[in-house]
Every structure is written in structure tokens, then in C-alpha cells.
Amino acid sequence: MNFAVGNKHFYATIEKMEEGKMMESLLISNEPAYVMHYNSIFEELWKNGIDAADRIRDIEEGVGLADIEVIPSSKRAQEIYLNIVRSATKEILWIFPTTNAFILQDKIGAMQLAKQAAKQRKIKVRVLVPANSSIEQKIQQLKEYCPDNVINVRYIEQMTETKATILVVDRKASLVMELRDDSKTSFVEAIGLSTYSNSKAGVLSYVAIFENLWVQSDLYERLKINDKMQKEFINIAAHELRTPVQPILGLSDVLLSKKGDIEQYRELLDAIKRNSKRLQRLTENILDVTKIESQSLQLKKERFSLNEIIRNVINDVNNQAELRTNSNDNVVTILFEPKQNVIVEADKVRIYEVISNLLKNAIKFTKEGPVTIAGTEKMDYTKEEVVVSIKDTGTGIDPEILPRLFTKFATKSITGTGLGLFISKNIVEAHGGKIWAENNSDGKRGATFYFSLPLSK
């Protein structure tokens, strides 16, 4: 592929063989993602390239000529291949086009040599390979007993057009091995022509290709995660919207058909009001997420008593009986016994929102026992802050959710969108505080959520 790229446009010609004929395709795009991507590839190649005038001068003077060898024998290629891996002193980079290519080269001991280099000499090993279950098992074996972050693997899509394994060692030598027949079960039978090079320009070109694929694989994984989270959110949001809408419409129709004193329909009106508020909360949460992601969340700070806000939240929750009554019809008790008056400078409405989110979550997952709130001043040489804790006796935090607890849509509950903790985290951090959570370690079930705020001076 040949390409040219400017500030706004990208042009490429792609050549390939079809039915014995060379076919050429032209690709033109003004898509910003394409333009930015190929600009970054060009800049990397340009940075690692050698000035043509310098190269010509080197050739004329007969110095610094690169060693490039085309190796037709697969047995000879195997020997050179293993020697290159053994010679590594700093870094090994691998690109495998297929899972079978990885397995074949593991059979001849290349992966074991890399593991020894990582384990004994702490040489960095990075691998790009298509994923499947057998590969994942071998990757775990490869990383076993090695220091952290010495061997790193990222998964890429199976390559249909490119059939070559690329090895780069110490950014000084490369070996490109053509995959002649991927169905073979031995390295010697599967490998075709190989090319060894220590040409700086050639080797660094392969490094640039590797680095771009490495970044792309990371972006691809993030896109898959985001796509999964988005689908989950759409499903959850659809359910959350449908749940209050149905009683609002149904009860409204019932009221419209009735005649007489409105007081006798108080329960119907309360149900409509309750579900309308639920819709309002969902709408506000979505708007808050939009503000957070566009970095337009604004705070209106003022000095106020944190204890007063906590009491207000507790009173409002106590006045909503359905919030404090769980599936077993047990009323959850909320305990708050402040030992001191704590003054903070913050956005009162937003801090109320954080405490309310955490308290309602605690109640939702508590089947029996109290929910305890505490606010404690913490002072050291660098800062003065208050730490608010909300401890429940519920089911605890699922280990699968814990690492991404405060990200968008992180929930395993059948109710809720998973936005509350994400919003709370961003509100707290906007105030210069932090938020975290842990399962209780005092022999009791449940979890404790904490957040900190700077004290008002």
C-alpha cells in the first residue's frame, strides 16, 4: 500500500493479486480518524527514517552498510530465529498473523527462550497475536513466575492478507518469516522464505508498524468494552424508562375515567407522583453524565454544615417508606451519631446528591441490619479533610464489579442504571476529594463506601 496524507485528506493505492492479475484500488477519504491515524504512521516512519542524502553518502563511502539476508531454507531460518531471540538484551517484539503461527514457534522453544530472557534478565517482551482459548492458556504459562509487566500480550484480529511472523529484537535486528502453509503442524513445513535485516530504516519501520498495531489493539479493546457497556445501558435504560411509564399511563387512564372526590384516589395519585419522580431522576442522571463527559459540570460552592446535609438526606429517605423497606418487608434502620460539627465549602446540592446515592444503594442491598453513616475529620501535614463513610450489612460488592465500580453502567442489579456511582465519583473529584469502597473486613457482611472532602478553613 502506498499512501499520501495531508491536513484534511488521505489517499492510498492498494495493490493485490487476484486470479493471477495485479489489481490496484484507490482509496480517498476526508474522515478525520483516517487522516489522524495515517498522519501518526507517517510521523513515526519519518522520525525513524534515515535522511536520503546521508544514506547515499554512506553507500558512496562504503561504511555502515546493512546486513540483509534472504533465507530460503526453513531449517536455517529456525536456527537464525532462535539465535536472535537468545541475543536479546533489552526488548523482544513479536507479531503473529495466526494462532497456529504462535503455537508452532512455541513448539520449537522460541517462547521458552523469551520467558527465560524475561525472567532472568528482565528483558521486555511484547506480543501481538490473534486470540483463542489455547493461546490464552499458553500466554498464562508464558507469564508464570515472571516479574510484573515484563511480558505483555495484546490480542489482534486474525490476519487474512498478511501471512508473515515479524520478530524485532532490541530495535536493531528483524526477522520476517513468510507463512507458507498455516495448516502444517511443524515450523519447518509451515515457513517459506524468511528475511533477516539489521538495516536501521527497515528495522525501525517494523517497530513503527508494531507500535501502531499495539495502540490500535488497545483502542479496539476499549471500543469493544464501550460498545458492550453502551448496549447494557440501552437495555437497562429501556427497562428503567418502561417501568415507571406503564403505571403513569395506566393510572392516569383510571383517574380520567373516574368521577367524584379526588381524595379517594390518593393512592393512585401517589403512585403517579412516585413513578414521575423516578423518570425525573433517570433524566437528571443522563444529563449529569453528559455534563461530566463534556467537562461542563459546574459547582456552586458555599460554606455549610455537612452534618446538616446528612440529616436532611436521612429525613428525606425516612419519609419515603418504599426506599427503606426491602423485599422481605423489613424496615432498614439508618444510624447517624455525629461527634463534631464539620464545616465544608462545597456545592450543597451536589454533595446531597452523592450522600443520597450512596445511602440509597446501601439500603437497596441490605436485607437486615442497620446502615451506619459517619463523618470524621482527618488531618495530616499536607491536607485537612473530612471522610464520610456509609456502611451497610448487605450482600457486599461483587468481585467482578469491584475493579470498575465507579465507571459508567457498572451494575449487576436488576434495577438501576449504574450511573449513580459514576456521577458521585466525578462530583467528589471535582471538589478535590476522592471516593472508594471495600467489602467489610470485620467479620460482618456488607460493604463500606467512603468519600473525602477538603475542610473549610
For residue 29, the SS3 value is strand
pLDDT above 80 for 396: yes
pLDDT single digits (tens) 144-176: 777 777 888 888 877 666 688 999 999 999 999
174 or 51, higher pLDDT:
174
What DSSP letter does each residue of 70-91 carry, written as one string? EE--HHHHHHHHHHHHHH-SSE
pLDDT bracket for residue 324 (50, 70, 90): low
225-293: CATH topology: Helix Hairpins (1.10.287)
Place of cell 495484546: 154
pLDDT bracket for residue 416 (50, 70, 90): low
pLDDT bracket for residue 359 (50, 70, 90): very high
Residue 127: which residues within 8 A CB-CB, separation 6 or more? 94, 96, 102, 139, 151, 152, 153, 154
pLDDT of 78: 92
pLDDT single digits (tens) 337-349: 887 888 999 999 9
- The shares of helix, strand and coil residues in the chain, as percent rounded to the nearest 5, are 45, 25, 30
155 or 271, higher pLDDT:
155
pLDDT above 60 for 325: no
4 or 245, higher pLDDT:
4
pLDDT of 368: 78
With b for 16 or more beta-carbon neighbours within 10 A and e for fewer, the 39-67 pattern comes to eeeeebbeebeeeeeebeeeeeeeeeeee
Q: Domain limits of the chain?
A: 1-48, 67-198, 225-293, 301-454
Return the DSSP state at 27.
E
Q: What is the mean pLDDT of the chain?
A: 81
Q: Report the C-alpha gap between 415 and 330 in whole angstroms.
A: 19
pLDDT single digits (tens) 177-192: 998 888 888 999 999 9
**Superfamily of domain 301-454 in the CATH hierarchy:** Histidine kinase-like ATPase, C-terminal domain (3.30.565.10)
Cβ contact 456:345 at 8 Å: yes
pLDDT single digits (tens) 191-215: 999 999 988 888 988 999 898 888 8
pLDDT above 80 for 96: yes
pLDDT bracket for residue 63 (50, 70, 90): very low
Cβ contact 388:454 at 8 Å: no
pLDDT of 241: 65
pLDDT above 80 for 42: yes
Q: Report the C-alpha gap between 163 and 98 in whole angstroms.
A: 8
In sequence order, which ranges of 2-132 are alpha helices (DSSP H)? 32-48, 52-61, 74-87, 99-107, 110-121
Residue 405: which residues within 8 A CB-CB, separation 6 or more? 397, 421, 437
156 or 324, higher pLDDT:
156
User: Angle at which helices 133-143 and 110-121 pack, to 10 degrees?
Assistant: 30
pLDDT single digits (tens) 426-437: 999 999 999 999
Q: Which of 265, 404, 394 is nearest to 332 (CA)?
A: 394
Domain 67-198 indexed as CATH 3.90.1580.10: no
pLDDT of 1: 77
Q: Which of 62-76, 152-166, 302-316, 372-386 has the highest mean pLDDT?
A: 302-316
371 or 158, higher pLDDT:
371
For residue 90, which phi and psi values (nearest 5 degrees)? -130, -45
CA angle 217, 221, 223 (to 5 degrees): 115
Cell numbers given for 205: 519501520
pLDDT single digits (tens) 286-316: 777 777 766 777 888 999 999 999 999 998 8
Mean pLDDT confidence for 50-79: 76
Return the DSSP state at 401.
T
Mean pLDDT confidence for 244-253: 71
pLDDT of 230: 65
